[in-house]
Structure 1
Amino acid sequence: LSPVPLNAALAPLEWLLGTWESDEPGEGTFPTINHVGQPVINFMFNAFQIETKKPLHRECGFIRLKPGTNHVAFINAQNTGLVDIEEGELTENQLNLQSCSLSRISFAKEPHVHQMLLFICQIRRVLRLRPDGKLEQTVSMATNNEPLTQHLHITYQRTS
């Protein structure tokens, strides 16, 4: 993919762009946290417009499996300003997840995805490894003016 021009609204932050590596070893410690070997998978999903390659939607975060169980947590941040925690179950090659916590930036574009009542989920996600080896993702969400509706359906092919 060729680089997409920087949105003019981001010009004041242009100085942050690039790949950064420390020139000296960094430090990080806390007495109760083991920083290496935690049971997490980092993920990043990117969707692009086919012809222009313009980025449409991005998500990144972590997937955690509670050791010794099939209970899974999906910690997710989106480029729209929404951050959510989804929890659910792993069954064979499928994750079934529902939002349990939602938060968003104060200036997020309407309509907002929101949490109505405790245990009423506004985001549902299914990640499934298909028999043909492709990963299928379906995301449904409800906003303040739409009921729970399929928002995204995408199939991924492993490249490495």
Structure 2
Amino acid sequence: MEGIHEALTPISWLSGRWSTKDGHGTYPNISDFKYHEDIEFICIGQPMYNFSSLSKHPEKQTPMHQERGFLRIKPGTNELAFMVSHNFGLTSHEEGTCDVEKKEIVLETVTINRMSFAKPPVVKKFKRIMKLVMPDTLEVTLFMETENTPLSEHLKAVYKKVEG
């Protein structure tokens, strides 16, 4: 675990770059869609990961969505906080825990802030589940609630670890 803060030991499996070519999006009031995405969890010596994601259209390879943020662990615990800025005009603060044995993280919204001119509908809640299903395979599922739709699965993808 060279280069990773010791507090991140319970979630050290998350470290690095992950990529999917088979992301699937769905939501009650939109057509299903596919996406490619790269996500990255990098430690720079602090008890947190710097996080980034970039999703692209699978055919055109044009950007679809971006996120930047920080996944912080409360040292000596399995408690996590995830602060994320989304390029469509909101920031989310999610908190939750990691199950060390299952290698699973579950986070839920604490607060969401939104810019005054972000397009509707208003996002009210996220639930995010990240699970290591094999040493080189990460599954991420995102649930979303808006002012028009109850909490529903929105995104699901299986990522492969990118070496190097």
TM-score, normalization: structure 1? 0.70
Provide the secondary structure at the position in 2 that maps to 1:135: strand
Q: Per-residue deviation at 1:131?
A: 2.0
**Structure 1 segment 37-52 matched on structure 2, within 5 A:** 37-52=45-60
Whose radius of gyration is greater, 1 or 2?
Answer: 1
Q: Which residue of 2 aligns with 1:140?
A: 143
**Structure 1 segment 103-114 matched on structure 2, within 5 A:** 103-114=113-124
Alignment counterpart, residue 85 of structure 2, candidates 71, 77, 84: 77
Give the distance between the partners of 2:68 and 2:131, measured in 1 at CA: 18
Q: After superposition, give the CA deviation of every residue in 1:119-160 in whole Å (9 maximum; x if it has no partner).
A: xxx210001111252111111011010110111111221112
Matched, 1:102 2:112: yes
Unmatched 5+ stretches in structure 1: 1-35, 115-121
Identity in percent: 39
Matched, 1:61 2:93: no
Alignment counterpart, residue 130 of structure 1, candidates 129, 133, 139: 133
Provide the secondary structure at the position in 1 that maps to 2:162: coil
Give the distance between the partners of 2:162 and 2:134, measured in 1 at CA: 17
Unmatched 5+ stretches in structure 2: 1-43
Q: Which residue of 2 aligns with 1:14?
A: none
Q: After TM superposition, where is structure 1 displaced by more than 4 Å over at least 4 residues in a row? A: none
Provide the secondary structure at the position in 2 that maps to 1:147: coil
Q: Which residue of 2 aligns with 1:25?
A: none
Q: Which residue of 1 aligns with 2:98?
A: 90
Q: Structure 2 counterpart of 1:69, which letter? A: T
Q: After superposition, give the CA deviation of every residue in 1:70-97 in whole Å (9 maximum; x if it has no partner).
A: 0011111111111001000010211100
Q: Per-residue deviation at 1:37?
A: 3.8
TM-score, normalization: structure 2? 0.68
Q: After superposition, give the CA deviation of every residue in 1:12-52 in whole Å (9 maximum; x if it has no partner).
A: xxxxxxxxxxxxxxxxxxxxxxxx84211011111111110
